[in-house]
């Protein structure tokens, strides 16, 4: 019968499935089928019997097949026993039988199921529970390598079942073990009874239970290998060197035996086998070790039984011996270090006097150190043994190392010296010993060591010294200790004198060792210089000047006997010579205005120039920072009218120059100056005179030939300017002026010769916007009696006087070329001329022609006017007014033009005009005029 597991109306109780845990608790099983409930409560009061389940005892996997009996047409539901909602399978009953797939819980070796059936909405009770066991081969594990020798299969299943191990189907006819029974705890084991070849193998267990169908467990694949080799020599726990031979039996000719540290992948040796017996040279670390052997064939064997050995550490090396402390002898050296097994060094005095040093532990950096006391001078024999822990409370000894030790009187130690030219030597030594210093002969007074210290000074000054070797002897009770000592004394820093401040190229000097090489450097340069040395003095002058007032540092070293001193340094400032300024203007006793500019020479770029009033010792005006060497100027304003005495002084980088020579000058009321007219300039009859002067002063203007001033007491404004209007006659004039301030009048100013000329005229007609033809009349207004001249460029077109009514008019004829033309008019009175008035206008000399109507013709009001012209565009205009357009725009071709008025012409005598422009709109022609014609309604044009 088909099993339904799609969850459609097949769970009579509904809710999530649950599973029985190993301890019997009920837990949720989300992997089981969830089916909906038909009702919240189910009544089992019915006459439907529960279904039956055919006996199942062992299963090998999930799902597995279940079957049984029931009522035909009913649906059977399989549950985990004790779980109300845990459906694990279902099936439809047909002909009284049902079957279907049942899900076995994950990670369970034993479970229990029961069943109920549903028919027409009625439910049976659950059937009796049935226990089911998972049958599995648990040993060997999959994908492992096993020896066939002594192999025992193990597994689980339903108690009292029968088990026989076979090769996995389809080779299950090959039986590998005798039949055995599963005990009451569900376990079984069966030794291998069949012979096996090396290589891959897959096995299953055939499991049988009375009344059920036998099953095969799931296959277990593993590899069968040879039995491992076993070690026979050396004896277990024997003492061995780090390299020795390991031997044994169980080999197979043609394979390889490999030896490993037990429980690790560290291989320590291997050998090719020629038979059952084998020998492998091995190299192992010191300390307790356990070795195992493996045979490499196809497939490899497992590891054999381990055998333990005690491995000697290496013999100790010659230690380092230190007698620097008279009371203590120190030993140190290198040893074996193992973080898991402590190692130590044991020293024993075999012959001679002295206490044995303490046992020394080897540190993690592989070093050890120990010491002994109470040793006298003399020789003795020591034995050193390296020991490593055997992991059983004992030690594994190395082979002994013997060495001789002689305690001699040591040389002095920690020798040092001062850097004085007559040095003092000092150091440490043995109490009561005498220390002497030699360079051939004694170089210092011998001294006795007290409290382990000694000190003595050289007998004479050495000066700078480079690697001079001396011998130092320590002597006590007839025993001597010698050492060589090398001494170097650097030259002292050379002395540096403070340089003079004046001048940017000072001469530097200082002291040095005679014959030294003195090198000079400066902070403002990367260059190095060599000074001149004479005796104990050096001098140097740098060719490049220093920066004025900028701090700079000189650094000097001296080199003697190949040694260079530390640098000596000095920070200094030098300054340019502060030039004495010279005042150029005002000149001595010169008269000047209250506002003036004092000028001078010998200025210094970057300096601040200041003027001083000698009469009160106060500064005059603001200081001026000079941008260049040489000329300078300082502007003064508002000086009182009196005699002044001033000096100039400049300051650069806070250093002042000497004062200039005293300059005397007088501040007076100066004559005013003319701005209009300038000497040789022109004025018009009605003109505005203007100029400059002392503000708030009064200006009086005089004209030569008149006893009275032309202008009197013209006020000068606060901006220092004045102006006033005058009326003059045309002709030559000479003007001058004086000014008065606070009751004091200046001297007359300079004469200003000038000319009075007519004022410039401008034409009233034509205007610049008008286009001019071949004839034109230029007219305007002027001063009666003046002569007006009309020019085109330099060509005079005509002249005319200005009439009594102030008008003038000049007719003129214009010739080619036409286009833009510049015209000018000028007014003259004798030899005195106004400035020309120019304007630009457009001249058009081309005239189109009228063909029809001819002069005197009678025409109709709507006539067709024709003519000739240049290709372009034309306009027919009224003769009476050029603003009235009769027709247009009209296309003009080489063949001519034709135009009809847009409105009928009035009867009577008529004229018209024709004007042309180019295709771009530029004017091309003057206005052409037609002859007189008569417009009549009954003209021949209307016939």
Distance CA 257, CA 412 (A): 62
Using the structure block, give the residue that is written with the tokens 């001294």.
447
In 10 A of CB 66, how many CB atoms?
Answer: 25
Q: What is the pLDDT of residue 299?
A: 66
Q: How far apart are CA 726 and CA 132, in angstroms?
A: 144
For tokens 């529960």, the residue is 50
pLDDT computed for residue 25 by the predictor: 32
- Distance in angstroms (rounded) separating the CA atoms of residues 862 and 269: 138
Q: Identify the residue with better confidence: 535 or 695.
A: 535
Query: Residue 229: its pLDDT value, please?
Result: 84
Report residue 824: phi and psi, to 5°.
-145, 155
CA distances, 259 to each of 147, 276, 829 (Å): 18, 16, 142
pLDDT single digits (tens) 482-500? 999 999 999 999 999 999 9
Give the per-residue pLDDT at 941. Answer: 54
Q: Tell me how far CA of residue 410 lies from CA of 330, 397, 515, in angstroms.
A: 13, 34, 41
Look at residue 114 and tell me whether its pLDDT is greater than 80. Answer: yes
Report which of 852, 845, 684 is spatially closest to residue 772, judged by C-alpha positions.
Answer: 845
Q: How far apart are CA 130 and CA 151, in angstroms?
A: 35
Q: What pLDDT is recorded for position 44?
A: 45
Name the pLDDT band for 377 (thresholds 50, 70, 90).
Answer: confident
pTM: 0.36
pLDDT in tens, 699-734: 999 999 888 999 999 999 999 999 999 999 999 999
Q: pLDDT for 255-267, tens place per residue?
A: 899 999 998 999 9
Contact between 312 and 241 (Cβ < 8 Å): yes
Phi-psi bin for 265: left (phi > 0), alpha (psi -120 to 50), beta? alpha
For position 298, what pLDDT does the model report?
65
Mean pLDDT of the chain: 88
The yes-or-no verdict on residue 41 having pLDDT over 90 is no
Instruction: Say yes or no to pLDDT of 11 above 60.
Output: no
Q: In this model, does residue 820 exceed pLDDT 90?
A: no
Q: Which residues pair with 396 in a beta bridge?
A: 388
Phi-psi region for residue 366, left (φ > 0), alpha (ψ -120 to 50) or beta? left
Q: What angle do CA 176, 177, 183 make, to 5 degrees?
A: 140
Q: How confident is the model at residue 4 (pLDDT cuts 50, 70, 90)?
A: very low
Residue 99 has pLDDT above 90, yes or no: yes
What is the per-residue pLDDT across 859-887, written as a single tens digit (0 to 9) for each? 888 888 999 988 989 988 888 887 888 99
Sheet holding 858-859, edge to edge: 858-859, 933-935, 908-910
**Angstrom distance (rounded) from CA 65 to CA 672:** 138
What integer is the mean pLDDT of 900-914? 89
Of the candidates 73, 84, 100, the one whose C-alpha atom is nearest the C-alpha of residue 4 is: 100
Highest mean pLDDT among 19-28, 323-332, 378-387: 378-387
Q: Look at residue 217 and tell me whether its pLDDT is greater than 90.
A: yes
Cα(177)–Cα(193) distance, integer angstroms: 5
pLDDT value of position 467: 95
Backbone angles phi, psi at 940, to 5 degrees: -60, -25
**pLDDT value of residue 939:** 58
Element (H, E) at 397: strand 395-397
On the question of pLDDT at 35 being above 70, the answer is no
Q: Residues 277, 255: contact at Cβ < 8 Å?
A: no
pLDDT at 27 over 60: no
């Amino acid at each position: 019968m088909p099993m339904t597991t799609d969850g459609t109306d097949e769970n009579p109780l509904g809710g999530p499935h649950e599973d029985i845990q190993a301890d019997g608790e009920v837990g949720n099983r989300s992997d089981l089928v969830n089916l909906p409930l038909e009702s919240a409560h189910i009544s089992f009061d019915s006459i439907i019997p529960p279904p039956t389940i055919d006996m199942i005892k062992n299963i090998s996997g999930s799902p597995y097949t279940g079957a049984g009996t029931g009522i035909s047409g009913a649906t059977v539901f399989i549950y985990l026993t004790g779980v109300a909602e845990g459906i694990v399978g279902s099936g439809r009953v047909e002909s009284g039988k049902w079957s279907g797939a049942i899900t076995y819980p994950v990670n369970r070796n034993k479970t229990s199921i029961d069943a109920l059936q549903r028919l027409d909405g009625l439910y049976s009770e659950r059937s009796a529970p049935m226990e089911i066991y998972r049958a599995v081969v648990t040993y060997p594990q999959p994908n492992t390598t096993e020896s066939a020798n002594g192999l025992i299969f193990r597994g689980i299943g339903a108690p009292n079942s029968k088990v026989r191990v076979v090769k996995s189907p389809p080779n299950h006819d090959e039986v590998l073990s005798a039949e055995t029974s599963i005990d009451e705890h569900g376990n079984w084991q069966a030794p291998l009874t069949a012979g096996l070849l090396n290589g891959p193998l897959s096995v299953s267990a055939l499991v049988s239970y009375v009344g059920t169908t036998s099953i095969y467990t799931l296959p277990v694949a593993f590899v069968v290998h040879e039995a491992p080799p076993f070690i026979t020599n050396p004896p277990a726990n024997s003492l061995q060197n780090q390299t020795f031979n390991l031997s044994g039996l169980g080999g197979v000719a043609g394979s390889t035996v490999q030896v490993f540290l037990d429980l690790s992948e560290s291989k320590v040796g291997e050998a090719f086998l020629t038979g059952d017996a084998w020998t492998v040279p091995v190299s192992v670390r010191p300390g307790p070790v356990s070795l195992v052997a493996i045979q490499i064939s196809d497939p490899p064997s497992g590891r054999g039984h381990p055998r333990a050995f005690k491995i000697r550490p290496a013999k100790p090396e010659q230690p380092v011996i230190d007698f620097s402390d008279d009371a203590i002898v120190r030993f140190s050296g290198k040893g074996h270090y193992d973080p898991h097994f402590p190692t130590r060094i044991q020293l024993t005095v075999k012959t001679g006097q002295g206490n044995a040093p303490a046992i020394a532990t080897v540190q993690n950096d592989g070093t050890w150190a120990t010491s002994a006391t109470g040793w006298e001078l003399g020789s003795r024999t020591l034995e050193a043994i390296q020991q490593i822990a055997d992991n059983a409370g004992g030690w594994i000894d190395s082979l002994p190392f013997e060495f001789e030790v002689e305690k001699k009187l040591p040389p002095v130690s920690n020798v040092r010296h001062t850097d004085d030219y007559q040095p003092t030597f000092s150091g440490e030594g043995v109490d009561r010993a005498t220390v002497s210093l030699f360079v051939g002969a004694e170089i210092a007074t011998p001294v006795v060591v007290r409290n382990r210290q000694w000190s003595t000074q050289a007998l004479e000054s050495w000066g700078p010294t480079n690697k001079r070797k001396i011998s130092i002897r320590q002597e006590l009770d007839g025993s001597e200790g010698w050492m060589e000592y090398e001494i170097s004394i650097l030259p002292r820093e050379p002395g540096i004198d403070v340089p003079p401040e004046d001048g940017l190229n000072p001469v530097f000097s200082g002291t040095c060792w005679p014959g030294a090489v003195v090198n000079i450097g400066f902070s403002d340069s990367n260059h190095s210089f060599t000074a001149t040395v004479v005796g104990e003095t050096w001098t140097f002058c740098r060719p490049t000047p220093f920066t004025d007032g900028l701090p700079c540092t000189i650094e000097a070293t001296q080199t003697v006997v190949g040694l260079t001193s530390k640098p000596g340094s000095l920070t200094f400032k030098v300054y340019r010579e502060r030039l004495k300024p010279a005042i150029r203007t005002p000149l001595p006793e010169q008269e000047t205005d209250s506002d003036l500019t004092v000028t001078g020479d010998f200025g210094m770029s970057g300096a601040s120039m200041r003027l001083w009033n000698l009469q009160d010792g106060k500064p005059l005006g603001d200081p001026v920072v000079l941008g260049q060497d040489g000329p300078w100027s300082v502007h003064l304003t508002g000086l009182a009218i009196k005699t002044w005495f001033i000096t100039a002084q400049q300051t650069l980088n806070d250093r002042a120059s000497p004062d200039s020579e005293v300059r005397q000058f007088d501040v007076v009321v100066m004559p005013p100056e003319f701005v209009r007219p300038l000497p040789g300039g022109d004025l018009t009859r009605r003109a505005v005179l203007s100029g400059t002067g002392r503000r708030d002063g009064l200006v009086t203007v005089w004209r030569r030939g008149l006893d009275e001033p032309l202008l009197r007491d013209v006020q000068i404004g606060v901006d220092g300017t004045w102006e006033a209007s005058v009326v003059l006659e045309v002709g030559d004039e000479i003007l001058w002026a004086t000014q008065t301030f606070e009751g004091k009048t200046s001297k007359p100013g300079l004469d200003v010769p000038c000319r009075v000329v007519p004022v410039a005229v401008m034409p009233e007609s034509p205007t610049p916007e008008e286009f001019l033809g071949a004839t034109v009349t230029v007219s305007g207004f002027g001063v009666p009696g003046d002569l007006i001249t009309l020019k085109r460029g330099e060509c005079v077109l005509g002249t005319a006087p200005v009439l009594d009514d102030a008008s003038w008019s000049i007719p003129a004829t214009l010739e080619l070329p036409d286009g833009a033309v510049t015209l000018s008019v000028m007014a003259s009175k004798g030899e005195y001329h106004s400035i020309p008035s120019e304007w630009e206008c457009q001249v058009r000399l081309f005239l189109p022609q009228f063909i029809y109507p001819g002069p005197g013709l009678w025409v109709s009001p709507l006539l067709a006017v024709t003519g000739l012209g240049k290709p372009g565009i034309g306009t027919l205009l009224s003769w009476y007014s050029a603003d009235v357009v009769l027709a247009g725009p009209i296309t003009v071709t080489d063949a001519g033009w034709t135009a009809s008025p847009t409105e009928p012409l009035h009867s009577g005598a008529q004229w018209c005009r024709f004007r042309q422009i180019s295709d771009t709109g530029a004017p091309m022609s003057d206005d052409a005029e037609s002859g007189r014609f008569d417009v009549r309604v009954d003209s021949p044009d209307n016939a």
